[in-house]
Homo-oligomer: A and B are copies of this chain.
Amino acid sequence: MNGRLSVIGLGPGDARWLTPEAEIALAGAAALYGYGPYLDRVPLRPGQERYPSGNREEAARAAAALHHAADGGLTVDRVAAGATDRTSDVAGALSGGCHVALVCGGDPGVFAMAAAVCAEIERGPAVWREIELQIVPGITAMLAVAARVGAPLGHDFCALSLSDNLKPWEVIERRLDAAAAAGFVIALYNPVSRARPWQLAAAFERLARQLPWSCPVVFGRAVGRDDEAVQVTTLAAAQHCAAEFAADMATLVIVGSAETRVVTRQGQSPLVYTPREALRSA
């Protein structure tokens, strides 16, 4: 038994942001699990199995990867075929498990698979607690988007998912209010999806109750990929910009604090930064 599961952050879409640690973990794994488009970013290796899954199957994907790591993959086909007897688990126990990798975009610990894996370990069979769990950090989207425009996260900031699939919208509103009132810069993950078309506009409206209309807002989509797009605007124009920009699930939005500044540069895109000093009382 035992086995090993590496939960690997691939970073945003550019291979130049993939760390050597992630490369090593990917190369050593017998099987790869992940959301299809993330798996597609990993070069094929002979003998390495692949189990792509859909976007909203986090718990099942985490459980499948843990199961595979614990039993060495002997039961994967049987589980898929609906087998329920324990014969193959005995074989798995004899196999000593294997090294499975579960890949994520960005960092696995930020609105990604690491929490889902921990939750499955907590609620799953005792043997899953014996698996060697390795979390491989990656460049998360807010760091990549911030880097493209300067240093908007240069002082205290927060990261907030706008998805109300897993928490009530009222919780999101209270967090937006608290973050804006306290002077945090705010990185918004999962700002828009087909099923959640109105939340981003509602968030901008909510933030404008506490922040100046001139507050800088940064949109970054698919940063590091060929279709990368980055735009700097103001809170006043943010909703209009979101529509024009076609903000989607691959978009990250950074809303500055009252102290965030924009520096214009002739012939270059403007810089956005939040000074390290916070002299005014929040």
A130 at the interface (CB under 8 A from B): yes
Q: Enumerate chain B residues within 8 angstroms of A11, measured Cβ to Cβ.
A: 19
* Bound-state Cα–Cα, A156 to B75, Å: 36
Q: Interface size of A by Cβ–Cβ distance < 8 Å?
A: 82
A276 and B58 contact, Cβ closer than 8 Å, known pairs A151-B115, A159-B156: yes
A114 and B24 contact, Cβ closer than 8 Å, known pairs A108-B151, A129-B266, A263-B121: no
From residue 182 to 217 of chain A, which have CB atoms closer than 8 A to chain B? 182-184
Of the candidates B135, B161, B171, B264, which one forms a contact with A183 in the assembled complex, judged by CB atoms under 8 Å apart? B171
A273 at the interface (CB under 8 A from B): yes
Q: Are A143 and B107 in contact (CB under 8 A)?
A: yes
Q: How many copies does the complex hold?
A: 2
Q: Are B135 and A147 in contact (CB under 8 A)?
A: yes
* Shortest Cβ distance from A175 into B: residue: B182
A151 and B16 contact, Cβ closer than 8 Å, known pairs A122-B261, A279-B167, A282-B174: no
- Which residues in A have some Cβ–Cβ distance to B below 8 Å? 11, 14-21, 24, 58, 107-111, 114-119, 121-122, 129-130, 132-133, 135-140, 143-144, 146-148, 150-161, 166-168, 170-171, 174-175, 177-179, 181-184, 261, 263-268, 271, 273-279, 281-282
* Shortest Cβ distance from A21 into B: residue: B16
